[in-house]
């Protein structure tokens, strides 16, 4: 089982991050704060990148030219999620 903790930037206050368990990629992508990103018109894909002993879940927009860390994943092997590895896209917008 994996756990995702919603990323809330340090400059934002008054909110507690959502922490939720999931078993499959489908369950992860159906979590409200994750799913909202895929509804954006500029949404490109979700990807995953390493960060110490956890993973960053990334939401990529505009063909990967803009990206955001939306959560931290623990307790699951990256390959179990079958998401692309995050790589910065340095192309012109």
Helix (H, G, I), strand (E, B) or coil at 30: coil
**Does the structure show a pLDDT above 60 at 6?**
yes
Task: Give the span between the Cα atoms of 7 and 16, in whole angstroms.
Answer: 10
Quick check: 71 and 6 in contact, CB under 8 A?
Answer: yes
Task: Tell me how many helices (H) and strands (E) the chain has.
Answer: 3, 5
Average pLDDT, the chain: 90
Higher per-residue confidence, 88 vs 5: 5
Write down the pLDDT at residue 42: 93
């Amino acid at each position: 089982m994996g756990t995702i903790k919603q990323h809330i930037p340090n400059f934002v206050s008054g909110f507690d991050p959502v922490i939720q368990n999931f078993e499959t990629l489908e369950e992860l992508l159906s979590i409200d704060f994750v799913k909202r990103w895929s509804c954006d018109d500029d949404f490109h894909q979700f990807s995953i990148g390493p960060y110490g002993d956890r993973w960053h879940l990334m939401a990529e927009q505009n063909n990967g030219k803009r990206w955001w860390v939306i959560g931290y994943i623990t307790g699951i092997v990256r390959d179990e999620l079958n998401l692309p590895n995050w790589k910065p896209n340095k192309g012109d917008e």
